[in-house]
Structure 1
Amino acid sequence: MRNWADYADLLKPAADLLARTHSPDSEAMQAQLWRQFAMNLSQGYFLLFQSTPDHPEFAPFENSVFLAQPNPDAVYYYAPIDGSGTYRVTGERGNAPVAGFALGNKIIGMDPLPGKGLGNYDFDDLEIDSNGRFEVIFSSERPAAYQGNWLKLPEEADFILVRQFSYDWGNERDVRLAIERLDAPPIRPALTPAQVDAKLAHLFGGYARNLSQISIGAVVRCAEQGFVNRFNLTSFQELGNGKDWPQAYWETVFDIAEDEALIIESELPEQRPYWNIQVIDGLWNQVDYVYRQSSLNGLQAKVDADGKFRAVLAHRDPGVANWLDTGGNLYGMLIGRWYRCSGHPTPSVTRVKFADLDRHLPEGVARIDSDERAEALRRRRIGSQLRRKW
């Protein structure tokens, strides 16, 4: 084992990432980045120390605490696996509109570059009993004489990720899951000093920096491609989504002054089982979504009488129902999702003075008063906290 100071020293070079941000001379940006490093250390501990491929357990991956661009409607769980092993997942489906498994190699942050997706499986394609319960085996080959749910495990897979997207926060039943390896001893041995040393070295010298490097890079890439206050339709395959992931994303960097706002306008696909939009900051962190309306999904959003979705990104409440709160960020990103939708429209963006919003919005745009906003925010913070995140 090394001295504790040696592990802390491994984190110091990560400070040079500040120079890659949009405002490296800003004390606020420095504070956000240092906070992100602390977040990464906390998240990395769960991923590296909670369980092993021989004795896995689903760990919290992204949620309202681990904010490196989670979908605000989603709760994610991660379990490390060995592609040569045999695993059984036991659980209850719940009733969130989207729930499924993703297999992959090197979850984001484990390496300096994102890993790759190796397959996505919707829970609704499994045989589920009348009580909503199921079991599924993951292995390289279907076990002899086994007739139940089985999913092929690629040899290079080293994790199973669970995604579930909620529309009606706190009122839907969340997924409940357990995982076990069937071809490993049942008792989990304690980590050896050598194993602890290796994991600490990876946590401080790898994961904490890697996750911030990838996050900052995602913002820089979008800006360098010219998508500033202009949406780009993308798949995020370069960030580890498998080719079979049935979701299109729309992203833009936003850059607005204190007295400006963005109007987002979009047609809506005729079939749209799930869609949303979210606000993230210049480090790719989701803006607080428990106490701020920094995201909207297909249930929360108000659709105008002409069938279009219109929202206003602004630093203060514009009195429009579909307000997207910047959280005080002048520079950041908007990301939206079309999941299994019949079309993938690209929304328009109009940059205006906040004082001139009414001149640019149609007369029938959905509006809200202060009492209605207070109630909407109350439902939001209660619903978010009622979800299982840990």
Structure 2
Amino acid sequence: MTDNSSGMSQDNFVPVVDSAERAPADFSSDEGALAYAYGEIDKLVESMRYSLKKQIVGWPAEDREINTYEALRHLLRNMSFGHAAHVEGDYGNPTLTKMGGTNRIQFQLQSTDCNYHSAILHGAHTYRLKGHRGSCAVFQISTYNSHSCDFVGGWKMIGNANNVDTPQFAAGQDIDVVLSHQRPADLGPGQVWLELPEGRCEMHIRQYYADWFTEQPANLMLTCENQVFPAPLLTRESSEERFKRLVDLLRVHADFCEAGVKGHLASPPDRIARFVVPGAFAGTDYFSGALRCRPDEAVIIEVDKPDCEYWNVELTQLQWEPGDWWARLLNYNLAQVHYEADGKVRFIASWNDPGLPNWFDCSGRTTHLVGFRFFETKSEQAEPRVKVVPLAELAQHISADMPRISPAERQAQMEARLVSVYRRRFHDF
């Protein structure tokens, strides 16, 4: 069993706190104001270049061209997410922000089953999260010390609750969550309290769907108790603080992403090894590896039937994102896979559709990262096995009674997946 906890520990990615004196600023003329703004942009451009180098240099050569295009796109996605979640973040005037912006903006091994939201908060305030919880398979709220844009101050989970251990989060319920540093003395029986640290912190909400076509999305609102109106205007101090969050995020998460991808690539070629992702989906065992598939090959990934509350698997590319998952078969969960008579699940990865269930679309690239999540396991999960076979001999390696999928059935499957993006509100910003 491989433990990569030290490599992925957030302690490894804390940037040096900026202690430099402020540069002079002259707002008495257009030229002076523009010079100040250019100076801020220069800091961002430097971080963009740092991020791109981490995203492009040193990865498998076969996919260098497509990886370069995807690195440029991923940089813009990170900037979009960083702006929405951190630059716009206001402790006294909070808002829920998509952790990926939209379904096409993905951040750090996002699960295609999960609709993520985040908000940066501060322990000096008390917040309320209220609304309909929806009916997704797993609903989880976590609070963390510090901010994910820089990890300065130490990043660790402070509070966590989900529908498995919290009756108030049962499917179909209206919820009322209090987030504060001190537990309220008047907390009601239907309310849930999640602790915040004294200082700056962050909340993450995860909605994991097993059935993409019937489970309902949540409808939630985050407010700050005794909010002061109107919200304060930007000052030089608050503007620079917010802008720096974006600059820091590009650097820190380029390093974090690099470590994550290296962890996948370090997995043995014949199996998907156990992997530790600190601060991720609480209660989850991660298995992360990689596969290499050429056009004339098929890769079979075999997993023993999981004994857990929920599980899923996805292919990602070298930007640690599952690509255009709404238009390609890159992921499956416990409700979507075909189980064989022996209880195992066998995935087939290839460039062309073999007309089989559990197919991974590898077309267009050779190297793919593989990520399994097993939530609330009841017994230890064995590592998934990987085997590469000639595509022409695939029939010799699958069971004779494995169902066949026609082109028309595959088209219908893909159209339904696309519709589910809207159903589950993944298209919202």
**Shared fold (TM-score, shorter chain, > 0.5):** yes
Contact 1:23 1:29 in 2 (8 A): no
Contact 1:262 1:350 in 2 (8 A): yes
> In 2 relative to 1, CA 16–87 (structure 1 residues): closer, same or farther, beyond 3 Å?
same
Q: Which of 206, 211, 221 is 2:253 aligned to?
A: 211
Q: CA deviation at 1:15?
A: 3.4
Which structure has the greater CA radius of gyration? Answer: 2
Alignment correspondent of 1:269: 306
Q: Which of 280, 286, 311 is 1:241 aligned to?
A: 280
Alignment correspondent of 1:82: 122
Q: Does 1:336 align with 2:372?
A: yes
Alignment correspondent of 1:64: 103
Q: Which of 52, 63, 75 is 1:37 aligned to?
A: 75
How far apart are the structure 2 equivalents of 1:156 and 1:230? 42
* Identity fraction in percent: 23
Structure 1 letter corresponding to 2:261: V
What are structure 1's unaligned runs of at least 5 residues? none
Q: Does 1:146 align with 2:187?
A: yes
Contact 2:133 2:174 in 1 (8 A): yes
How far apart are the structure 2 equivalents of 1:130 and 1:255? 40
The SS at the match of 1:20 is coil
Contact 1:112 1:213 in 2 (8 A): no
Q: Does 1:182 align with 2:225?
A: yes
What do the CA deviations read for 1:259-309 (whole angstroms, capped 9, x no partner)? Answer: 222101121134x33111101002211121101111011111111122211
Alignment correspondent of 2:9: none
What do the CA deviations read for 1:308-357 (whole angstroms, capped 9, x no partner)? Answer: 11111112211111101125221121111111232323221111112211
Q: CA deviation at 1:111?
A: 4.4
How far apart are the structure 2 equivalents of 1:57 and 1:262? 43
Q: Does 1:168 align with 2:203?
A: no
> In 2 relative to 1, CA 137–318 (structure 1 residues): closer, same or farther, beyond 3 Å?
same
Contact 1:20 1:216 in 2 (8 A): no
Q: CA deviation at 1:9?
A: 3.1
Contact 1:261 1:313 in 2 (8 A): yes
> In 2 relative to 1, CA 70–112 (structure 1 residues): closer, same or farther, beyond 3 Å?
farther
The SS at the match of 2:251 is helix
How far apart are the structure 1 equivalents of 2:169 and 2:391? 51
How far apart are the structure 2 equivalents of 1:189 and 1:369? 59
Contact 1:304 1:366 in 2 (8 A): no
> In 2 relative to 1, CA 65–110 (structure 1 residues): closer, same or farther, beyond 3 Å?
farther
RMSD: 2.6
> In 2 relative to 1, CA 5–61 (structure 1 residues): closer, same or farther, beyond 3 Å?
closer
Contact 1:273 1:340 in 2 (8 A): yes
Q: Does 1:255 align with 2:295?
A: no
Which ranges of 4 or more aligned residues in structure 1 deviate by more than 4 Å? 106-109, 111-114, 128-131
> In 2 relative to 1, CA 132–189 (structure 1 residues): closer, same or farther, beyond 3 Å?
same
What do the CA deviations read for 1:119-171 (whole angstroms, capped 9, x no partner)? Answer: 32114615369972121212222223333422222335610000000122242
> In 2 relative to 1, CA 269–84 (structure 1 residues): closer, same or farther, beyond 3 Å?
same
Alignment correspondent of 1:22: 60
> In 2 relative to 1, CA 241–29 (structure 1 residues): closer, same or farther, beyond 3 Å?
closer
> In 2 relative to 1, CA 288–353 (structure 1 residues): closer, same or farther, beyond 3 Å?
same
Q: Does 1:101 align with 2:141?
A: yes
Contact 2:119 2:202 in 1 (8 A): yes
Alignment correspondent of 2:273: 232
Count of residue pairs brought into register by the alignment: 383
What do the CA deviations read for 1:195-228 (whole angstroms, capped 9, x no partner)? Answer: 223333432x32223323321221112323x433
Alignment correspondent of 1:2: 37
> In 2 relative to 1, CA 128–208 (structure 1 residues): closer, same or farther, beyond 3 Å?
closer
Q: CA deviation at 1:380?
A: 0.8
> In 2 relative to 1, CA 95–71 (structure 1 residues): closer, same or farther, beyond 3 Å?
same
How far apart are the structure 1 equivalents of 2:328 and 2:284? 25
Q: Which moved more, 1:95-104 or 1:358-367?
A: 358-367
Structure 2 letter corresponding to 1:146: L
> In 2 relative to 1, CA 139–378 (structure 1 residues): closer, same or farther, beyond 3 Å?
same
- The alignment's TM-score, normalised by the length of structure 2, stands at 0.82
Structure 2 letter corresponding to 1:143: P
The SS at the match of 1:26 is helix
